[in-house]
């Protein structure tokens, strides 16, 4: 039986009050749209935080430090999807695209990666974003509605 719960990790990389956004292909919308660093939490023995760091390295070539929790969102559809959205700052590296072959292996198609100011983001329309969840979360970040990371507790069950 297929698991009907998916956990997604979203990473909002912020530098000098600017947000890192990707331009990524959407099969659902058949075009390129703005997105944040995002991936599926599916590796055993990896924490949510480790997953966020791995996704930042894979998608943007950067090492990050998580600073805050932006939100936890539950999406209902064919599958129940839990989104954990984190705020992060860059530690090392410069945002860059992964090689095309690497992206294909991960099922990604990202063509751009740039920082945008709050003023630039405020002018962006909902339809420019890959999903409603990303758009709403970006606007939550604009409003500085963030929470301490300590809300997330990692436990080992044996």
DSSP-based three-state secondary structure for 150: helix
Q: What number is the average pLDDT over the span 107-115?
A: 95
The HSE-up count of residue 4 (CA atoms within 13 Å, CB side) is 6
- Digit-coded pLDDT (tens) for 51-80: 999 999 999 999 999 999 999 999 888 889
pLDDT averaged over every residue in the chain: 94
- At residue 1, the pLDDT reads 43
Percent of the chain exceeding pLDDT 90 equals: 85
From 55, 48, 52, 70, select the one nearest 137 (Cα to Cα): 70
Q: Quick one: CATH architecture of 5-89+106-151?
A: Alpha-Beta Complex (3.90)
For 144, residues 6+ apart whose C-beta sits below 8 A from its C-beta are: none
Question: Residue 125 has what pLDDT?
Answer: 98
Q: What digits encode the pLDDT tens for the residues 28-43?
A: 999 999 999 999 998 8
Domain boundaries, the chain: 5-89+106-151
DSSP character at residue 78: S
């Amino acid at each position: 039986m297929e698991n009907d719960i998916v956990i997604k990790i979203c990473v909002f990389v912020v530098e000098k009050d600017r947000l890192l956004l990707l331009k990524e292909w959407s099969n659902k919308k058949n075009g390129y749209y703005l997105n944040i660093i995002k991936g599926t939490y599916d590796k055993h023995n990896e924490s949510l935080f480790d997953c966020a760091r791995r996704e930042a390295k894979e998608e943007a070539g950067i090492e990050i430090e998580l600073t805050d929790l932006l939100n936890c969102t539950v999406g209902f559809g064919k599958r129940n999807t839990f989104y954990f959205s984190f705020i992060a700052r860059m530690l090392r590296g410069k945002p860059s695209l992964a090689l095309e072959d690497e992206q294909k292996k991960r099922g990604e198609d990202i063509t751009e990666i740039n920082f945008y100011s709050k003023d630039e983001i405020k002018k962006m329309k909902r339809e420019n974003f890959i999903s409603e969840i990303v758009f709403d979360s970006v606007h939550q970040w604009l409003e500085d509605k963030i929470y301490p990371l300590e809300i997330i507790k990692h436990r080992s069950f044996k």
